[in-house]
Chains A and B, each alone.
Chain A
Amino acid sequence: MTKRQIWLSLITLVLFAIVPPLTIIFDQPFYMDMMARIMIFAMAAVSLDLILGYGGMVSFGHAAYMGVGAYAVGILSYYGIDNGFLQFPLAMAASAIIGLAFGAMSLRTTGVYFIMITLAFAQMLYFFAISLEEFGGDDGMSSMRSEFAGLIDLNDSLQFYYLVFICLGVVLYLLHRLVQSRFGMVIRAARSNDKRMQAVGFSTYRYKLAGFTIAATICGLAGALFANLNEFVSPDVMHWTHSGEIMIMVIMGGIGTLIGPVLGASAFLLLEEYLPEWMDMVMKDAGEHWAIIMGPVLIAIVLFGRGGIHALFTSKAKAKGGNHD
């Protein structure tokens, strides 16, 4: 990490940290929930970037693990188990197991096959969730906020905000250590040249699978927090367009970096929130058609925005491109 990257990461985290006092001073509680939402998606995006940016695995089904985490919390809550000490580990374990199973099968393929098989698996879970009549089927179900008895009260939005903030900070730190470690070096090297790594004697399949599972686990944590934020779980979390959006956050922010996806998630969700308002200002009632601007903006970012927002701030640092498969 260069000095600039460290500064960028610190400033970003400090900005997130000072949101709650500001919202309280200006009496705008809405923004606290919005920023919590951004941090949850940031966590999902960072976990995707571990396999997408560092590992070169273009997984197009990452929202599925968010869904698994969310449903784990929702289903436990449905049966009256609101204990967060039980819910969160189970949510992460469930995502890990499903990530391991899907990863084990998907990683047998490469390139376009990999993109499409991960998409198809996510779609499979989506339809499975729709068919769960007991848990609301298509409509989803409401779920209570988790209880961490005696420790924190998640019904208090300030405490919830800082729980999400700490989770994001811990995830960023652990992933930072991970990508710098021997393990991280192996998956990064496998992205550059898988065959050579195998020739050198690494079983890249196992390393990639471990990376895939770790990413799914972190995304499951994001899902568990997401269920808490909304107090609601529905198959919509797993919809394939959400997988695409998480991917866009990574690209927008800067692929192959850790703070990049956090910036990307912020930019994407803020744009989604405010673009309609801006369009309404220009032309009356134009805001409902915000996607007509958002679509071409995405295309432009992909075509011209090498390195994403991260590269804007760390222009001297090398902007890592996508994988070349």
Chain B
Amino acid sequence: MDPLLLLEQTFNGFQFGIMLFLIAAGLTLVFGIMDMVNLAHGSLVMVGAYLATTFIEWTGSFIGGLALAIPATFAIGVLVEIVALRTLYRRNHLDQVLATFGLILFFNEIVRIVWGPISLYSGLPDYLSGQVEFIPGAPYPVYRLIIIAVGLAVAAGIYLIVAKTRLGMLIRAGASNNEMVGALGINIKSLFTFVFALGAVFAGLAGMMLGPLTSVEPGMGEPWLIQAFVVIIIGGIGSIRGAFIAAILIGMVDTLGRVLLPEFLRVFVAEAAADTAGPALASMLIYILMAAILVVRPQGLFPARNG
């Protein structure tokens, strides 16, 4: 196999992993602190993508559009938390799953009413649509490199917030015992709202950056949601570090699996059989990986707390 192609796919896998991390980060924070299953997290990816597409068109500038879409997504996160999710924290997981399932239906339909059922395509400005050849012979899209850079910056930002600030201290304390944090005089309600809205911004940001790569359509966040679930199961619920490592792992395994597995199978079986079985197996690979990891460590790689 061409090593340059392999290198390119490695970058793609890394970029995919970064995207997954942005979505999984909010999910794992909400799980960790509020012990809340939120299926509607994928809808926030979709909402972010739609808002960015609209604002980019409106302002005529890519950066300007994102600059408007980020606070808008934060505001929607705050609104959703106060109106819908707040009442669910004390419910059992089953109720949370079903109520947020209802939220997904609602969000998808709102989007369909406001923006119509047809997919939107948002182009890239000229300065982002080029390619760079930082390795001779292997040109790579600038935009994908920017996604990687933004994702790494966000990851570093989350790490700094969680590990070094007072807010992060409260988040960590909330993850281990949120009642005690409340008893010590912290306004746990507004902390929950803020954390949820922060997670919404990360998910929305992922959606905004996805926009130019794929089509923006109702329900676009749902496949990402399930992959983000796999990420936080492998990483350990509530662990940002676990989410980052697992996201990169999943991104790499999925992308490289799709490239390498058919080639690999050809060594053992006939070419035709390898070409059929390869993609089938590749699309299941991350779930097989998850099952294997859970057999060894039922709480994921980096469990944030016991029980």
A289, B218: Cα distance in complex, Å: 13
A112, B287: Cα distance in complex, Å: 16
A139 within 8 A of B: no
B115 to chain A, nearest CB (A): 13
Interface centre among A119, A134, A297, A324 (most CB of B within 10 A): A119
* Contacts A/B (CB < 8 Å), 21 sampled: A58-B97, A108-B294, A108-B298, A116-B230, A120-B230, A124-B284, A132-B280, A133-B276, A240-B226, A244-B97, A247-B94, A289-B112, A292-B106, A292-B113, A294-B105, A295-B102, A295-B104, A298-B99, A299-B103, A303-B87, A325-B92
6 new A-B contacts at CB < 8 Å, known A108-B298, A244-B101, A298-B105: A112-B93, A113-B300, A120-B229, A302-B99, A324-B92, A325-B93
Mark out the residues of chain B between 67 and 125 whose CB falls within 8 Å of any chain A CB in the assembled complex: 84, 87, 91-95, 97-99, 101-110, 112-113
Mark out the residues of chain B between 120 and 167 whose CB falls within 8 Å of any chain A CB in the assembled complex: none
A168, B75: Cα distance in complex, Å: 48
Using known A-B contacts A109-B298, A325-B93, determine if residue A295 contacts B290 with beta carbons closer than 8 Å.
no
Q: Which residue of B lies closest to A130 (CB)?
A: B283
Interface residues of B (CB under 8 A from A): 31, 35, 37, 39, 84, 87, 91-95, 97-99, 101-110, 112-113, 222, 226, 229-230, 232-233, 237, 276, 279-280, 283-284, 287-288, 290-291, 294-295, 298-300
A233 within 8 A of B: no
Number of A-B contacts (CB under 8 A): 131
A153, B214: Cα distance in complex, Å: 48
A324: chain B residues at CB < 8 Å are: 92
Mark out the residues of chain A between 38 and 60 whose CB falls within 8 Å of any chain B CB in the assembled complex: 52, 58, 60
A115 within 8 A of B: yes
A203, B298: Cα distance in complex, Å: 18
Q: Which of A121, A128, A298, A325 contacts B291 (CB 8 A)?
A: A121
Q: Which of A60, A119, A291, A299 contacts B84 (CB 8 A)?
A: A299
Q: Which residue of B lies closest to A244 (CB)?
A: B101
Q: Which residue of A lies closest to B95 (CB)?
A: A302
A291, B237: Cα distance in complex, Å: 31
B114 to chain A, nearest CB (A): 11
**Contact status A120-B233, CB under 8 Å:** yes
**Contact status A131-B92, CB under 8 Å:** no
Interface string of A277-311 (1 = CB under 8 A from B): 00000000000010110111111001100000000
Q: Which residue of A lies closest to B104 (CB)?
A: A295
Using known A-B contacts A291-B109, A323-B92, determine if residue A121 contacts B102 with beta carbons closer than 8 Å.
no
Q: Which residue of A lies closest to B278 (CB)?
A: A131
**Contact status A299-B294, CB under 8 Å:** no
A40, B108: Cα distance in complex, Å: 27
B291: chain A residues at CB < 8 Å are: 105, 117, 121
A323 to chain B, nearest CB (A): 6
**Contact status B112-A115, CB under 8 Å:** no
B90 to chain A, nearest CB (A): 11
Q: Which of A108, A119, A251 contacts B229 (CB 8 A)?
A: A119
A238 within 8 A of B: no
B290: chain A residues at CB < 8 Å are: 117, 120
**Contact status B287-A113, CB under 8 Å:** no
Q: Which residue of A lies closest to B218 (CB)?
A: A291
B112: chain A residues at CB < 8 Å are: 289
**Contact status A123-B287, CB under 8 Å:** yes
A123, B226: Cα distance in complex, Å: 8
B295: chain A residues at CB < 8 Å are: 105, 108
A322: chain B residues at CB < 8 Å are: 92, 94-95
Q: Which residue of B lies closest to A298 (CB)?
A: B102
**Contact status A251-B37, CB under 8 Å:** no
A162 within 8 A of B: no
B222: chain A residues at CB < 8 Å are: 240
**Contact status A291-B233, CB under 8 Å:** no
Smallest CB-CB A-B distances: 3 pairs: A295-B106, A298-B102, A295-B105
Q: Which residue of A lies closest to B291 (CB)?
A: A105
A127 within 8 A of B: yes
Mark out the residues of chain A between 253 and 274 whose CB falls within 8 Å of any chain B CB in the assembled complex: 255
Q: Which residue of B lies closest to A60 (CB)?
A: B97
**Contact status A291-B106, CB under 8 Å:** yes
A248 within 8 A of B: yes
B177 to chain A, nearest CB (A): 17
**Contact status A296-B94, CB under 8 Å:** no
Interface centre among B98, B280, B288, B294 (most CB of A within 10 A): B98
Interface centre among A105, A120, A121 (most CB of B within 10 A): A120
A21 within 8 A of B: no
A169: chain B residues at CB < 8 Å are: none
A198 to chain B, nearest CB (A): 16
**Contact status A113-B233, CB under 8 Å:** yes
A105, B291: Cα distance in complex, Å: 7
A29 within 8 A of B: no
B254 to chain A, nearest CB (A): 11
Using known A-B contacts A108-B295, A298-B102, determine if residue A128 contacts B284 with beta carbons closer than 8 Å.
yes
A130, B37: Cα distance in complex, Å: 28
**Contact status A131-B94, CB under 8 Å:** no
**Contact status B288-A297, CB under 8 Å:** no
